Amino acid sequence: MDERRLESVCRECGKPLSFHAGETAPARCPDCFDGFLRLRDADFLSSYAELGVASRRIIAETSLRALVMESPPHRKVLAMHIMEQYVQAASDLVGLYHALQGRLHTPVMRAFLDFQLDRTSALAFFHEIRETPGPELLDRLLIPQQAHLARSLPSLSKRDVKDLDRAIHQMLIDLRKTVDMGETAALALAQMAGERRTGAALTNQSAWLDITGLRADQVAAIALDERRRTVSVTAISVDEKRLQTVVGAIDAMTRAAQNMIYAVLSVYQEEARSKALNTPSRARRRP
Ligand SMILES: [Zn+2]
């Protein structure tokens, strides 16, 4: 390994940066990178709300429509694919929830894109949403209380306040619906989170693993559990009604994320407006 240290400068503040020979020169110092991300958080959220957030739902709905027409083996592949969309939609929602909660400390884009759902964070999210009253959830997300929207966001028109009120109301309903899928879904979710090879590890039977066999209407994803030194099996039913519920949960999670972003963007907008209003007057007051 070449251990030489090389020097470059931050393209924002000009601070000298050193890096190892053979590495790519960093573009910015850590502080300027955070600032760079922060400036783009609002745009990132609105572009995510426009397209990315719905991608899991679109794929799940399309798979469910296709599943109805398919032969049994193909149905199983599509059923597992729908479950993967469920895990990913949940991972996105939990990541978004954490990123928005912590946005005063960490840029949203960083927290969201770095987020990895695991067993602990999946179960903690289910528990937190189930146990926390709506107003407190809003506090944690730094979203104004529904009763104080007009006062907290004075630049909104009456109509905008009404729309936002409705969006927050729907968001709280959808968050509850998400966790109402229950403990089983949370556990399946926790188990599947981080298992990246579900496609390759699909199985029709599990008796060969010394585990009780699957029912004919079930498919399973298998993964190594190195910690317990066993093979874990997540069984999924290919029953259409059951999958319809899963797609319904993906739909609720998608809507919850969209409305959460809508509320946070309203707060950002208000902050930007009041900054714009205050800056020139303060400048004028200065001698
Ligand atoms: Zn810098």
Q: Identify the CA nearest to 98 among candidates 127, 56, 140.
A: 140
Q: How far is the CA of 161 from the centre of ligand 1 (A)?
A: 39
Q: How far is the CA of 38 from the centre of ligand 1 (A)?
A: 14
Residue 90, amino acid: A
- Angle, CA 145 vertex, CA 142 and CA 151 arms, to 5°: 105
pLDDT of 236 reads 79
What is the rounded average pLDDT of the residues 134-149? 97
Q: How far is the CA of 171 from the centre of ligand 1 (A)?
A: 38
Q: How far is the CA of 134 from the centre of ligand 1 (A)?
A: 40
What is the rounded average pLDDT of the residues 258-270? 97
* Torsional sign, CA 159, 168, 156, 54: negative
Position 226 confidence tier, pLDDT thresholds 50, 70, 90:
confident
Q: Quick check: 253 and 90 in contact, CB under 8 A?
A: yes
What does DSSP assign to residue 216? T
Residue 23 has pLDDT above 90, yes or no: no
What is the rounded average pLDDT of the residues 31-60? 95
What is the rounded average pLDDT of the residues 34-39? 96
Secondary structure element (H or E) that encloses residue 245, with its range: helix 240-285
Which residues, 6+ apart, have CB-to-CB distance to 287 below 8 Å?
A: none
Separation between Cα atoms, residue 75 and residue 196, nearest integer Å? 20
pLDDT of 209 reads 79
CA distances from 156 to 135, 241, 256, 273 (A): 21, 42, 22, 10
- Supply 185's token pair: 């879904």
What is the rounded average pLDDT of the residues 136-147? 97
pLDDT of 190 reads 61
Query: How would you class 97 by CB atoms within 10 Å of its CB: exposed for 0-12, middle for 13-18, buried for 19 or more?
Result: buried
Q: How far is the CA of 28 from the centre of ligand 1 (A)?
A: 5
Residue 155 has pLDDT above 60, yes or no: yes
Q: Quick check: 235 and 114 in contact, CB under 8 A?
A: no
Query: How would you class 287 by CB atoms within 10 Å of its CB: exposed for 0-12, middle for 13-18, buried for 19 or more?
Result: exposed
Separation between Cα atoms, residue 165 and residue 157, nearest integer Å? 12
Q: How far is the CA of 23 from the centre of ligand 1 (A)?
A: 19
Q: How far is the CA of 42 from the centre of ligand 1 (A)?
A: 21
Residue 284 has pLDDT above 60, yes or no: no
User: DSSP readout, 105-146?
Assistant: TS-HHHHHHH----HHHHHHHHHHHHHS-HHHHHHHTT---G
Q: How far is the CA of 9 from the centre of ligand 1 (A)?
A: 8
What is the rounded average pLDDT of the residues 231-236? 79
pLDDT of 163 reads 98
Q: Identify the CA nearest to 168 among candidates 255, 56, 254, 57.
A: 255
Separation between Cα atoms, residue 255 and residue 175, nearest integer Å? 9
Position 222 confidence tier, pLDDT thresholds 50, 70, 90:
confident
Residue 283 has pLDDT above 80, yes or no: no
Position 262 confidence tier, pLDDT thresholds 50, 70, 90:
very high
Q: How far is the CA of 56 from the centre of ligand 1 (A)?
A: 37
Q: How far is the CA of 182 from the centre of ligand 1 (A)?
A: 46
What is the rounded average pLDDT of the residues 138-154? 97
Q: Which residue has the tokens 């559990």?
A: 225
- Supply 86's token pair: 């469920």
Q: Quick check: 194 and 237 in contact, CB under 8 A?
A: no
Residue 185 has pLDDT above 70, yes or no: no
Q: How far is the CA of 36 from the centre of ligand 1 (A)?
A: 10
- Supply 160's token pair: 């905008």
pLDDT of 53 reads 94
Q: What percent of the chain has pLDDT over 70?
A: 89
Length of the chain in terms of residues written:
287
Start-to-end CA distance of the chain, whole Å, equals: 60
Position 176 confidence tier, pLDDT thresholds 50, 70, 90:
very high
Alpha-helix runs per DSSP H in 132-200: 134-140, 149-152, 158-180, 182-192
Tens-digit pLDDT profile for residues 186-199: 556 666 665 555 55
Q: How far is the CA of 111 from the centre of ligand 1 (A)?
A: 20
The chain-wide mean pLDDT, for the chain, equals: 87
Q: How far is the CA of 7 from the centre of ligand 1 (A)?
A: 14
Q: Identify the CA nearest to 240 among candidates 54, 61, 79, 56.
A: 79
- Supply 42's token pair: 């609002």
Residue 285 has pLDDT above 60, yes or no: no
Residue 259 has pLDDT above 80, yes or no: yes
pLDDT of 188 reads 65
pLDDT of 261 reads 98
Tens-digit pLDDT profile for residues 113-131: 999 888 788 888 989 999 9
